[in-house]
Structure 1
Amino acid sequence: MSRTKSIACLILVSVLCLFGNDAKGQIKQELQKLSLTKDSTMKVNSLNRLGTLYRNRNTDSAFYYGMQAKRIAANLRYQKGEIDADLLLAHSFFKRGLYAESLNILGSALPFYQKTNDVEKIIRVHLDMVEVLNKGISDRKKIVSLLQKAIEMGTTKLEKDSIMSEVYLTYCNRNPSLSTDSIKYYLNKSKNIASRYKDQYMLSFNLLWQARLLILNGQKQQALPIIKQLISDSQRNDLPSLEINSLFLMTGYYDNQPKIALDYFYQAYHVAQKSGDSYLEIYILNNALQVANQLGDKDEIIKVYAELEKATSAEWEKSKKFISDYVKYNAIQNDNKLLSKKNEQKTGLIVAFGISLAITIFALFKLWNNRRRLLDLNKKIWTQNSNMQQTLNALEQSQANNTRMMQIVAHDLRNPIGGIYGIAEMMLYEEGRTKEDREALEMIKTSGKLSLDLVSDLLLAHTKTNELEKEPVNLGEMLRYCVDILQPKAALKEQQIDLQVKANLSILANQEKLWRVVSNLIANAIKFSPKGSSIQVNLQKEAQHALISVKDDGIGIPEELASKIFDMYTDAKRTGTAGEQSFGLGLAISKQLVEAQGGKLWFESKPGFGTTFYVELPI
């Protein structure tokens, strides 16, 4: 299935930005500490810890605690508290799609941690920058450079290296150029660090990576129990991030069964709903939509579109609240600046307020732009739903009338085209025609012939195969007739058609359709064979089947076209060795007609050395 590669790449690449230990119990403890804390500096630190615990559980809560911490820290002139709060605000901006603002804050925070030699915080800033660059800018070279710097710092300057488990795992996720052996090496380092610190969350993500590698190496059965255990553990311990990643991995396991894969996307979507991350809901539903489209189930497609609309609406509501909070944040910032600069000149206050107002307006513009995109998406979804329903209804009606339409084409279109072809041919025999007239008539004649062939192909393409009338057919005689008919066409290219009938066979088949199949195969052999070559047509008996083969020494069929050669509407059409054009649906119809009579049609080809087509029919 075409999703095999894309699904395998989705797992642990686009979703693993959800790092962070399960924090439910820690949040409860920190809230209790905060309620008892009287010291303002300690309160700032506690608020920042709370925001950090909420980073990947609830963006709005992380933003709220970051705002509170920054307000108090600014009044205290507690720079570390302000910078730590800035990391929470940068993460919130990233989650809301304000990538440039997020990078700007992270870039401003980095010099402080470098000055204080806080290596763990420097590495955290690097990891956050990696996620912003990956989602917003996709600067792969910069991403790899940041991670390599983090690895270097972690191995030479870091005393407590627990964060390195996350660094190594992120390096595997964000560096697609890593070989399998390199991935295993860094996963092992990540696992050893997580084991040393008893970090069960990181150990689980290491297991998830191992399962992914097993799937990519074709060892799905070995991966399945690992994934099931991870899903069970994540549900038992309330780890939504791990559960979503594990469910995504299950879609990779069932990449050749889209219906089952779609069910796992729905499960992941419901988990994301409970966690309240509507951005993640939209991400999951977009992936589910690809599978639903591949499945071709209109009810599932409509269902996914409906859920996608709900998710985008929810995201817009959160964005409106975020606008309000962000305005409050800028108001707080402005108040702090006013309080700290009472004795400064009025011009300085106006400049500070203007900068704050400009930032607010810019953020409002960005969020308004996001809202506009969401509204456009909603409109497109509903339009597509409506168009899809109308299209489906039209297709059903068209299918019912299709056979009749083809009959009208045969009677109302074939006759006038045939007349044009005949008149052009007669006019060519008339004496006294100029060269220009004869060239124009030849083009009319050729176009008429191609149009007649196309009408015939369309009629055959809409033939109900279960209505084919069968009669006894002497295959040897039929082949001789085909060869005799096409021998003059081969002679134009100085080619020879050799027929060998090794068995006198009669079968029950539709002679007209079977003749059409063999004629098409021989005509293709003539078209794609060089001047002066030989074409071999053979008939022999094999077990309970008659085997017809048409072999040429032509240009062959390239590997990249082999899988498309029997498609009804394919881009695998090529010109012949003498510039002949391909306009019909010949091979697709031939395969359909052979299979309708209980047979098989296939080919063997070596580019540059010719092709052999085989027709196997039951005796």
Structure 2
Amino acid sequence: MYLHLLSTVNCLPNPRCGLFGCLLLLFLLSCSRKENRISDLQIEHDLLRVDSLYINRKFGEGTALLNSLGLRIKRNSPQSVNYYRLKVVHYEGNAAMMRAYADSALSFFSTPELTEKYKEQYVQVLLMKGDVCMRERKYNDALTYFYRGKVLLERNKGACGISDFTSAMAGLLYGQKKFAQAAAYWVESYRWMEKCKTEGTAQRYFHIQQGTLNNAGYAFENAGMIDSALYYYQKDVDLINGAEGSKIISRRALNSARLAVYDNIGSVYTRLNKRKLAKSFLLKSVALDLRLDGAVIPPLVKLARIHLMDGDYKAADSAFQRSRLLLNKFKDANLSSEIKWYKFRSEYYFKQHKLAEAYRTLEAYIRIKDSVERIDAELNKMDVNKEFKSLQQESSLNNLEKREEYNRYYLIGAAIFLLMLVIIVILVSKNLGQVKKNSRVANLNNLRLQRTLSELELANKNYIRIMRVMAHDLKNPLSGIIGLVSVLLEEDGFTEDQISMLKLIESTGSHSIGMINELLKSGLADEREHMVKTPVNLQTLLNDSVELLRFRAGEKHQEIVYEHTEPVWAEVNREKIWRVFNNLIINAIKFSPNNSRIKVEIRQFKRKVVIVVSDRGIGIPDENKELVFEMFTPAKRMGTNGEQPFGLGLSISKRIVELHNGRIWFKDNPDGGTEFFIELPV
């Protein structure tokens, strides 16, 4: 008789070997996801195609495509789970390889986040892993994985997952020869399957339904419930006939399904001793032989027995010999038919009075049957409900221990918190007095500091007054000295050395007066002096400054290029901003070589104006760039013609610009030299 176990191999008579096949039937449906990228969609399509190729028994083409997918699928993607599950199908019968790929699929769910995100796929993998453990006869491990899947299903209530779980439990109960319970589970699986909203192929969904109906009928048959068996076999036939005109389900797939169900119906009629009907269905089944995987072995063995019962020994011997050749090739997948073959063959030899052959085949039958029963003994002894209760109790105990552990942590944390709170309260109360004392001392120090600052401010004002007087007092005699020297230089009768000394005195006096003027303009000014601002046309002011300094640039044969714009009005102090413009242009003249070009421009924006003065002079070394805006800066250097620097101009300019809520900065000119920028609000 036939138990439909796997959509890719419909004719596996050993019910223990088919648990994982039922899990695969819905897995690709529940796993397939719509990805945004074209490559991911192509991979999804190819995975479904591999599954379809296996269903249609095109194993070579399917395996080639699956191997190519192994190079394209990322191991950390959910698509890798589908790939590993198909690999489990590919290695049907090789327990070690099935275990390796099942473990690989399970390893994808390495975090609680992945388990939650792909919970339906996770359930499928748990059930698949349980089935692989069943094949390895690790029954306790298998039940552990089944139980974990059951717990998740109780939480999520997914129709597809419940269908898979009940199907897996049906296979387990069938292996324990609890046929009535297994049949009930398969019927329940079929009902949940009708509620399952899948995203897979119609071809796969057909095989899921067809296989489940066939399995339910087979379980009822072995439970002796013949009417129920025929009812579900007939539903299976109706389903297959209904798909006859479909272009989605291939002829090969339909014939594979018919071969299985006709074989099982023939087995039922054999039980009812309706040998004519039985032979007709078995002959139909044999006529559908696909000659690929030994699927025709079970109906051939049963047909041999019918011929034997009818006394047609020649036809019986032909069926025995044909099935033997196939059994030698596909022995591992047809152990149940192997046992029946030896039993029926021994009956044939007894009727042919070939006692030696009869005893030999009977002995082989007994040996193989006893071996299978010994293997099944451990499984048969297992009480699934009791084991599940034990796992539930163990899980509850683990959860209780975790809760107790968490409670211990909470208590320890609470105790530590309370202890630290007490310590904090003690420290706060202890330090509160010190804080009050420190506050009084701080207030006293603040009063002293304010008095000191007031005194310093008064002293600074007095210092400024004194320095102003001293500057003016120094300026008058220096001006007289310069005047006298100028008169003397106009006289004749001096030697060259005397003339050189007089020019040195004149030059030194001029530099001294220049420095005094800079001091009077900057450092000795009152910083809190009220600065009067009026609307000024900056374009005109800048133009006046440029025109005034052209003669000075002409002494070094330099050209000042000023790019005019429309009038730009801003609230500024005319005298001070004019001083800033002069400082920057004079610096450009001073530090540029002869016959060079100085560019001055004004750029207007929505809420600001930017003045740019660029030269191609000696530039500013990197080590001096942070110092140029300091008063009496050590970064000052001689001009290109030996002009004397004072180190005050940029400091004065920076302070004036900031008093106008603007900013001043510079950067290296790409063509050499420096570009200075002034930004003022308008």
| TM-score interval, smaller chain | 0.3 to 0.5
With structure 2 as the length reference, what TM-score do the two structures score? 0.36
With structure 1 as the length reference, what TM-score do the two structures score? 0.40
Indicate the structure (1 or 2) with the bigger Cα radius of gyration. Answer: 2
